[in-house]
């Protein structure tokens, strides 16, 4: 073993304990300490990445990004090495800012966390440059051949960093506590457009080279890229849509309320601080509904329903511009500070733009989904500030951080009154702007600025139960919706045979009412009952993907043959996990593994790695 490799292996012990020859009085120690993150190998409290400059070629044939990442560092006097996160990167050279070669070593690969990259720092190293290329299987990247796009003519590439995938396309310290600014030069085949979670110029020439600057420090999971044959349509002076030309107008029309939503959020929580807010509409294989990449939310096309009925998704991703992106979770344990606050802010935006009835329905649906999921979760997983050590970071994304987090804030709002709570939240976003914080930091701020400022309203003990105990606390009041109570009545009457389906007046039903009606039906229905519903409402052909999902779930549970053609097309055409995972699950639970596996195998090449990873264990429970 070489001497330096021995140092690499013991650097964790040495660093911070003196006993080294790095004695540069001018070197800055990293600013305030970063919270230890069990999902990163990085050593930011010794040597911290503060800025990333990417210079990458996009190779669609080789399915690789190739080039360099130049990292600016803040280095503590005692630091001998910089430790980065990587996953399956091909590294060819590491130099300092002047081009001098630096020694480096890749550690052991871990299936969840990837591979630490340790770079030996010499005296005064404040910049390192890593020459590398990504692996075709990089978990953050989906490479779509032209035939998987609408035009069928050009390939498409997009990244998805959250939670810990950025390390598969950029070597850096991939912890949300280590915020970075970034810049990028990206080269692509001429005619294609590149967009990033940075300043985008809708009028940029499509000449094969794009430059980006992101002057605001963000967690690494928010660095994102999209490449494709993308058109742009403005929705307001500061909002617009990027999408394939075939879809861009429909998208701009569907999401036309984005500016109003932004104004509402600004009134509540202070100015939008990220300059532009644009949407990137991805191909249907995008594994999520949306992803809040700063300045440019990534959005599934499956919410373009034609009637703006599913735009809560936009409110949600926009809300992250305050909760999540401005004030971020320091580690994945603290995700509820991000998604829970966002789910709350979403409801407030929906209420202000579309009225209280719709907001109540959205909250009631969130509760139904939370209550159902809670039944399957272990007590440990029902805690907002979840203990994630030893778990994969993705395991934190249940309804708990989202809906339980929201209901906690709704409870505070009810107890302190809207005016007081709104002022508190606005002050909180200002106070922690552009920082990544822990649950403990939030608790301290909450005690000082809300509980102590308004004594005898709620107790610390009550707050503690919400944040650190499983289940729903005694202080929780389930949301109610008059509209849903009416639906319950109609559903009951139909099931009791008091009314026939064709006589149910559904003309004024919103998507929410449809979902509540369908999801509340018994698991077992007769063919005659399903025929009656389908005959009256044409559910098998529903153009609303959320309604289609709920209907197909019923169809699967009851082996309702007439829906299977649509079911297969749905599973083949969509990669959004929320829409397809419940269908695969229902198929497997009802002994239809053969059908599930046939369709899954056919669809798999077009699914995103995240969708594959989520469904594979369901479809092959024994690891076959």
Interacting residues toward ligand BES by CB under 6 A: 162-163, 288-292, 312-313, 316-317, 320, 339, 397, 578
From the list Zn ion, ligand BES, none, partner contacted by residue 43 (C-beta under 5 to 8 A by kind): none
Q: Does residue 360 come out as left (phi exceeding 0), alpha (psi in the -120 to 50 range) or beta?
A: alpha
Footprint of Zn ion on this chain (CB under 5 A)? 339, 342
Burial tier of 454 (Cβ tally within 10 Å: 0-12, 13-18, 19+):
middle
Q: How far apart are CA 362 and CA 312, in angstroms?
A: 9
Looking at the Cβ atoms of 244 and 339, the one nearer to ligand BES is: 339
Nearer Cβ to Zn ion (339/366)? 339
**Rounded least distance, CB 461 to ligand BES, Å:** 30
**Residue corresponding to tokens 């934190």:** 396
Q: Check: CB of residue 615 under 8 Å from CB of residue 581.
A: yes
| Sign (positive or negative) of CA dihedral 533, 535, 540, 545 | negative
441's tokens? 């930091």
Phi, psi (5° rounding) for residue 108? -75, 140
Nearest distance in Å: CB 524, ligand BES: 28
- Alpha carbons within 13 angstroms on the beta-carbon side of residue 405 total 28
419: tokens are 């005016």
Shortest distance, CB of residue 578 to Zn ion, whole angstroms?
Answer: 12
Tell me whether residue 74 or residue 339 sits nearer to Zn ion (CB atom). Answer: 339
**Cβ atoms 184, 56 nearer than 8 A:** yes
**Annotated catalytic, 402?**
yes
Which partner in Zn ion, ligand BES, none is near 513 (CB below 5 to 8 A by kind)? Answer: none
Distance separating alpha carbons of residues 277 and 271, to the nearest angstrom: 12
Residue 315 contact partner, candidates Zn ion, ligand BES, none, CB within 5 to 8 A by sort of partner = none
In angstroms, the CA 511 to CA 575 distance is 21
Based on CB atoms, which residue is closest to ligand BES, 325 or 542? 325
Q: Which does 383 bind (CB under 5 to 8 A by kind): Zn ion, ligand BES, none?
A: none
Q: Closest distance between ligand BES and the C-beta of residue 265, in Å?
A: 15
Which residue is catalytic, options 317, 339, 362, 413? 317
How far is Cα 537 from Cα 580, in angstroms, rounded to an integer?
A: 22
Which residue lies nearest ligand BES, judged by its C-beta?
289
- Contact (Cβ atoms closer than 8 angstroms) between residue 455 and residue 485: no
Q: How far is the CB of 165 from ligand BES (least distance, A)?
A: 9
Q: Which entry of Zn ion, ligand BES, none binds 228, CB below 5 to 8 A by partner kind?
A: none
Describe the chain by its helix, strand, coil percentages, rounded to 5.
Answer: 40, 20, 40
The residue among 45 and 398 lying less far from ligand BES, judged by its C-beta, is 398
On whether the CB atoms of residues 76 and 214 are closer than 8 A, the answer is: no
Q: Nearest to residue 52, comparing CAs of 31, 75, 69?
A: 69
The Cα–Cα gap between 15 and 180 comes to 23
Q: Is 600 a catalytic residue?
A: no
Q: What are residue 539's phi and psi, to 5 degrees?
A: -65, -35
**Which one of Zn ion, ligand BES, none is in contact with 288 (Cβ closer than 5 to 8 A by kind)?**
ligand BES
Are the beta carbons of 327 and 337 closer than 8 angstroms? yes
CB 549 → ligand BES: shortest distance, Å?
12
Which of the listed partners (ligand BES, Zn ion, none) does 162 bind, with a CB threshold of 5 to 8 Å by partner kind?
A: ligand BES
Residue (357 or 578) nearer to ligand BES, CB: 578
DSSP conformation letters of 403-447: IIHHHHHHHHHHHH-HHHHHHHHHHHHHHTTTEEE-HHHHHHHHI
Cα dist. 592→35, 526, 558, 559, 599 in Å?
47, 18, 11, 9, 11
What tokens appear for 114 in the block?
């990837």
Q: What is the DSSP letter of 294?
A: T
Work out the angle at residue 126's Cα, subtended by the Cα atoms of residues 125 and 127, and round it to the nearest 5 degrees: 100
Cβ at position 429, least distance to ligand BES in Å: 17
Q: Is the dihedral of CA 255, 256, 258, 260 positive or negative?
A: negative
| Min CB(241)–ligand BES separation in Å | 18
130 Cβ neighbours under 8 A, 6+ residues apart? 68, 69, 70, 71, 84, 91, 93, 94, 117, 119, 171
Which is nearer to ligand BES, 317 or 413 (by Cβ)? 317
Whether the CA torsion 566, 567, 573, 579 is positive or negative: it is positive
CB of 424 to Zn ion, least distance (A): 21
Least CB distance from residue 39 to ligand BES, whole Å?
13
Nearer to ligand BES, 230 or 291 (CB): 291
Nearer to ligand BES, 52 or 312 (CB): 312
What crossing angle do the helices spanning 593-603 and 577-589 adopt, rounded to 10°? Answer: 150
**Token pair for residue 373?**
């999921």
Closer Cβ to Zn ion, 116 or 405, answer by number? 405
Tokens for 239?
A: 């909002």
HSE at residue 185, side-chain half, CA atoms within 13 A, is 6
Question: Which one, 47 or 140, has the nearer CB to ligand BES?
Answer: 140
CB of 312 to ligand BES, least distance (A): 6
Catalytic residue among 132, 354, 402, 607: 402
> Which partner in ligand BES, Zn ion, none is near 289 (CB below 5 to 8 A by kind)?
ligand BES
Catalytic residues: 317, 402
């Amino acid at each position: 073993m070489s001497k330096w490799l021995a140092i690499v292996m013991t650097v964790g012990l040495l660093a911070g304990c003196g006993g080294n020859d790095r004695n540069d009085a001018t070197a800055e120690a990293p600013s305030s300490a970063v919270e230890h993150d069990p999902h990163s190998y990085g050593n930011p409290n010794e040597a911290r990445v503060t800025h990333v400059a990417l210079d990458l070629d996009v190779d669609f044939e080789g399915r690789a990004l190739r080039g360099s990442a130049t990292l600016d560092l803040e280095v503590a006097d005692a630091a001998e090495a910089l430790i980065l996160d990587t996953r399956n990167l091909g590294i060819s050279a590491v130099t300092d800012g002047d081009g001098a070669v630096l020694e480096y070593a890749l550690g052991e690969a871990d299936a969840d966390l990837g591979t630490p990259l340790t770079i030996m720092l010499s005296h005064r190293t404040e910049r390192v440059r890593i020459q590398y290329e990504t692996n075709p299987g990089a978990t953050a990247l989906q490479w779509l051949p032209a035939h998987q796009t609408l035009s069928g003519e050009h390939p498409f590439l997009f990244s998805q960093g959250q939670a810990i995938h950025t390390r598969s396309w950029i070597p850096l310290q991939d912890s949300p506590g280590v915020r970075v600014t970034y810049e990028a030069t990206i080269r692509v085949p001429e005619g294609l457009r590149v967009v990033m979670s940075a300043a985008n110029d809708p009028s940029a020439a499509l000449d094969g080279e794009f430059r980006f600057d992101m002057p605001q420090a963000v967690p690494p999971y928010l660095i994102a890229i999209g490449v494709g044959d993308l058109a742009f349509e403005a929705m307001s002076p500061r909002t617009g849509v990027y999408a394939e030309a075939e879809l861009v107008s429909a998208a701009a029309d569907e999401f036309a309320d984005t500016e109003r939503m932004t104004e509402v959020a600004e009134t509540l929580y202070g100015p939008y601080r990220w300059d532009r807010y644009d949407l990137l509409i991805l191909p249907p294989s995008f594994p999520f509904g949306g992803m809040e990449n700063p300045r440019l939310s990534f959005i599934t096309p499956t919410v373009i329903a034609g009637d703006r009925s599913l735009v809560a998704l936009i409110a949600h991703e926009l809300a992250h511009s305050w909760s999540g992106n401005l004030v971020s979770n320091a580690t994945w344990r603290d995700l509820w500070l991000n998604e829970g606050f966002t789910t709350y802010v979403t409801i407030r935006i929906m209420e202000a733009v579309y009225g209280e009835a719709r907001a109540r329905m959205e909250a009631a649906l969130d509760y139904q989904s939370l209550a159902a999921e809670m039944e399957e979760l272990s007590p440990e997983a029902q805690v907002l500030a979840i203990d994630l050590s030893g778990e994969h970071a993705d395991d934190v994304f249940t309804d708990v951080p989202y809906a339980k987090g929201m209901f906690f804030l709704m409870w505070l709002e009810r107890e302190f009154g809207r005016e007081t709570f709104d002022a508190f939240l606005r002050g909180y976003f200002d106070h922690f702007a552009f920082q990544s914080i822990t649950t403990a930091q939030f608790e301290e701020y909450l005690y000082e600025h809300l509980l102590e400022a308004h004594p005898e309203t709620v107790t610390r003990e009550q707050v503690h139960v919400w944040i650190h105990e499983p289940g729903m606390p005694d202080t929780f009041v389930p949301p109610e919706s008059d509209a849903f109570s009416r639906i319950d009545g109609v559903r009951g009457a139909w099931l009791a045979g008091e009314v026939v389906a064709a006589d149910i007046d559904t003309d004024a039903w919103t998507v929410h009412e449809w979902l509540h009606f369908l999801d509340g039906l018994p698991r077992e229905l007769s063919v005659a009952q399903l025929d009656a519903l389908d005959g009256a409402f044409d559910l098998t052909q529903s153009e609303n993907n959320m309604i289609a999902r709920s209907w197909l779930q019923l169809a699967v549970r009851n082996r309702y043959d007439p829906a299977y053609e649509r079911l297969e097309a749905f599973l083949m055409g969509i990669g959004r996990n929320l829409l397809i995972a419940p269908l695969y699950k229902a198929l497997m639970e009802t002994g239809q593994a053969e059908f599930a596996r046939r369709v899954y195998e056919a669809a798999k090449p077009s699914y995103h790695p995240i969708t594959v990873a989520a469904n594979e264990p369901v479809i092959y429970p024994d690891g076959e």
